[in-house]
């Protein structure tokens, strides 16, 4: 495997870019923030070739940002190390910076919606009540996510939730439209959110938390 070019500078920004500055690397880390993933899960990144994905995964392993482990049914999954998990705030700030720019005219829909997990989790973490706890399922265009808050610690992972107290169903494009300032929070809540489940009060708490998080994404809070 060809070794990636390095800046070889003392500057810590350059050292960070040596590890995460190559194309696709940050998007792989972004998707792994949603939890362990198989090679095929990551291959849904639009436009990435299998040999390039293999190369990036090997380099991320060598740099100590991800690891491989055996999973159920003889499969292998990739997951973040403790160091890799620390890229969450970096990815969030990149998302906020990226929202300052209009999307290209010919945009591609993500191969899966693991992309939403890190931005939503970090935004919620920054506005959550320290005493809040809930267990919910978030369904975005049919893709389920486990959304938990444990004494103020927020987690969002790909996959169905067990024993969810509430389910919030919504769509990807309206979520992005709110974050980009193209759709009001009231318009999103009234037309693009459906709450269900045995605990209505938890549903309202979840909707309120997501609302505050989206306001944070738009810079309104």
User: pLDDT tens digits for the chain (221 residues)?
Assistant: 556 778 989 999 999 999 999 889 999 999 999 999 999 999 999 889 999 999 999 999 999 999 999 998 889 999 999 999 999 999 999 999 998 888 888 878 888 999 999 999 999 999 999 999 999 999 999 999 999 999 999 999 999 999 999 999 999 999 988 888 889 989 999 999 999 999 989 999 999 999 999 888 887 55
Given this model, what pLDDT does residue 107 score?
Answer: 79
Q: Under CATH, what is the fold of the domain 113-217?
A: Nonspecific Lipid-transfer Protein; Chain A (3.30.1050)
Given this model, what pLDDT does residue 2 score?
Answer: 57
Given this model, what pLDDT does residue 110 score?
Answer: 85
User: 78: burial class by Cβ within 10 Å (0-12, 13-18, 19+)?
Assistant: buried
Given this model, what pLDDT does residue 141 score?
Answer: 96
SS3 state at 221 = coil
Is 113-217 in the same CATH topology as 12-86?
no
CB 85 within 8 A of CB 60: no
Inter-axis angle of helices 185-192 and 200-217, nearest 10: 140
Given this model, what pLDDT does residue 124 score?
Answer: 97
Global pTM?
0.92
| Domain range annotation of the chain | 12-86, 113-217
CA dist 193 and 189 (Å) reads 5
Q: In sequence order, which ranges of the chain are alpha helices (DSSP H)?
A: 12-20, 25-32, 39-42, 50-62, 82-85, 88-98, 116-127, 172-179, 185-192, 200-217
Nearest 10 degrees: CA dihedral of 90, 94, 95, 101?
A: 170
Given this model, what pLDDT does residue 121 score?
Answer: 97
DSSP 169: E
The yes/no answer on whether domain 12-86 falls in CATH 1.10.10.10 is: yes
């Amino acid at each position: 495997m060809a070794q990636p070019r390095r800046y070889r500078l003392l500057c810590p920004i350059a050292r960070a870019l040596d590890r995460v500055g190559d194309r696709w690397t940050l998007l792989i880390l972004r998707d792994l923030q949603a939890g362990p993933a198989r090679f095929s899960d990551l291959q849904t990144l639009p436009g990435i070739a299998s040999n390039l994905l293999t190369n990036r995964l090997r380099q991320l392993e060598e740099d100590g940002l991800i690891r491989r482990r055996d999973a159920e049914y003889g499969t292998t999954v990739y997951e973040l190390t403790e160091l890799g998990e620390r890229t969450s705030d970096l990815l969030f700030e990149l998302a906020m910076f990226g929202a300052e720019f209009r999307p290209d005219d010919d945009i591609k829909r993500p191969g899966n919606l693991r992309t939403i997990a890190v931005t939503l989790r970090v935004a919620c973490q920054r506005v959550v009540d320290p005493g809040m706890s809930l267990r919910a399922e978030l369904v975005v265009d049919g893709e389920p996510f486990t959304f938990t808050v444990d004494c103020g610690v927020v987690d969002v992972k790909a996959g169905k939730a067990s024993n969810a107290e509430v389910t919030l169903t919504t769509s990807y494009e309206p979520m992005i439209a709110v974050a980009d300032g193209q759709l009001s929070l009231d318009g999103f809540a009234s037309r693009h959110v459906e709450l269900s489940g045995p605990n209505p009060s938890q549903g309202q708490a979840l909707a309120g938390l997501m609302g505050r998080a989206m306001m944070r994404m738009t810079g309104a809070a």
